[in-house]
């Protein structure tokens, strides 16, 4: 038997039987078979085929909905899915095109739907991340980053104030904290508040919701309860926070309303909680606070679904109809007069008003509203 060449690897295997035979079949086949060279090519072709199929599935067009509302819902779904994939430069340019006011101290933007203000788990893009880019777009490459003066929820649209200097941002934050900033929100509600104007003064507390889906929600912590027809004061929790909301109905139908809200305090999710649990009029598209016991898509009345041109399974895609409509800032710095900031409604909000038969109010310089038909828009 010829000795193996120097440097060649030697494999010594002891044993016999079917197991050894199978091992030799497994090891020797790739080394000896003439098809061995072609197998990597086959794998490469398979990988290319799979990639081509995936590209085809992505580009495959879905049937276009016939209803304008369903088309709009599909656009919103696509928009919210793509929003987190937008490049920060693109988002900053979009924000710069929607600036409501700019002076040497402040920049006021129109916050879009579905965009968080701060980062967090699972957040790939937020407003705070693009502030340095937005500053460079407005003031050149040597500009210092803008600073946040307050926050809005991810699903809330509308007026948002930024400051060029950190000191000015702190001054504006103090104005918000001491309730010197007048804020007005517009919301579309499911059901109509009764009475049509009033004040909700009920403390709010965060609680854990027990059940299959354990989660936390803000809820009411009232100071009084009814006991045998009598109003009885109850001991309030130490964790409950004072929450006061002034509201009035601007336009209404049998099953929905356009409501103006003025939060006197600034508690987390205050407007949503007061409307849903205090007035039994949840905001359209509020899938968190429409039901206390579960996290599920908002269940809408049949009449509302019919007006919107939707079926209940599609209600999960309805965005929150809560818009920061107006801010009035007191004099600050070089500015000796109040600054009135008004932001137009987003398109989806206007479409819903039209479908629900709600009138769009006019607003004069003093902030007074007068309802008018939406067709005049």
Report the C-alpha dihedral over residues 78, 79, 83, 89, rounded to 10 degrees. Answer: 120
3-state class percentages of the chain: helix first, strand second, coil last, to nearest 5: 35, 25, 40
Pairwise CA distance, residues 117 & 153, whole Å:
7
Pairwise CA distance, residues 311 & 65, whole Å:
13
Specify whether 153 is catalytic: yes
DSSP state for residue 344 in the 8-state scheme: P
Phi, psi angles (nearest 5°) of residue 231: -80, 120
309-343 core/surface letters (b: 16 or more CB in 10 A; e: else): bbeeebbebbbbbbbbbbbebeebeeeeeebebbb
Q: Which of 243, 250, 245 is nearest to 261 (CA)?
A: 245
Marked catalytic residue, from 105, 153, 280, 362: 153
Pairs from 238-243 (Cβ < 8 Å, separation ≥ 24):
239/205, 239/206, 240/203, 240/204, 240/205, 241/203, 241/204, 241/205, 241/265, 241/267, 242/203, 242/267, 243/200, 243/201, 243/202, 243/203, 243/204, 243/267, 243/270, 243/273, 243/274
DSSP 164-211: SSHHHHHHHHHHHHTT-SEEEEEEEEES--SSSEEEEE--EEEEEEPS
Contacts of 91 (CB under 8 A, 6+ apart): 115, 125, 130
CB 91 within 8 A of CB 105: no
Residues paired with 186 in a beta bridge: 260, 323
Cα Rg, the chain, nearest whole Å: 30
**Which are the catalytic amino acids?**
153
């Amino acid at each position: 038997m010829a000795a193996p060449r120097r440097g060649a690897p030697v494999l010594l295997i002891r044993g016999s039987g079917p197991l050894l035979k199978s091992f030799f079949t497994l090891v020797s086949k790739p080394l000896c078979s003439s098809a061995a060279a072609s197998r990597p090519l086959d794998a490469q072709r398979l990988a290319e085929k799979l990639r081509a199929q995936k590209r085809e599935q992505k580009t495959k067009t879905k049937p276009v909905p016939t209803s304008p509302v369903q088309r709009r819902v599909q656009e919103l779904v696509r928009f919210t899915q793509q929003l987190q994939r937008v490049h920060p430069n693109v988002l900053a340019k979009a924000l710069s095109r929607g600036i409501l006011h700019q002076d040497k101290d402040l920049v006021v933007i129109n916050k879009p739907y579905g965009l968080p203000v701060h980062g967090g788990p699972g957040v790939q893009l937020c407003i705070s991340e693009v502030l340095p880019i937005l500053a460079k777009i407005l003031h050149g490459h040597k500009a210092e980053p803008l600073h946040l003066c307050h926050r809005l929820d991810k699903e809330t649209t509308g007026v948002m104030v930024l400051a060029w200097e950190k000191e000015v941002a702190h001054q504006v934050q103090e104005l918000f904290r001491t309730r010197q900033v007048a804020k007005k929100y517009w919301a579309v509600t499911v059901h109509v508040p009764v009475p049509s104007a009033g004040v909700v003064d009920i403390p709010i507390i965060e609680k854990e919701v027990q059940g299959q889906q354990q989660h936390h929600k803000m809820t009411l912590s009232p100071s009084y309860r009814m006991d045998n027809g009598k109003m009885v004061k109850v001991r309030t929790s130490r964790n409950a926070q004072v929450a006061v909301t002034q509201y009035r109905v601007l336009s209404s139908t049998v099953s929905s309303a356009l409501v103006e809200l003025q939060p006197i305090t600034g508690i987390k999710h205050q407007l949503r909680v007061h409307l849903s649990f205090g007035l039994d009029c949840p905001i359209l598209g509020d899938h968190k606070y429409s039901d206390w016991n579960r996290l599920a898509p908002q269940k809408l009345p049949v009449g509302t679904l019919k007006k919107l041109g939707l079926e209940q399974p599609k209600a999960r895609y309805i965005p929150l109809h809560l818009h920061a409509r107006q801010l009035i800032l007191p004099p600050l710095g070089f500015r000796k007069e109040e600054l009135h900031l008004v932001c137009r409604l987003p398109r989806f909000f206007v479409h819903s008003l039209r479908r629900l038969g709600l009138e769009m109010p006019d607003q004069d310089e003093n902030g007074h509203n007068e309802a008018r038909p939406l067709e005049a828009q």
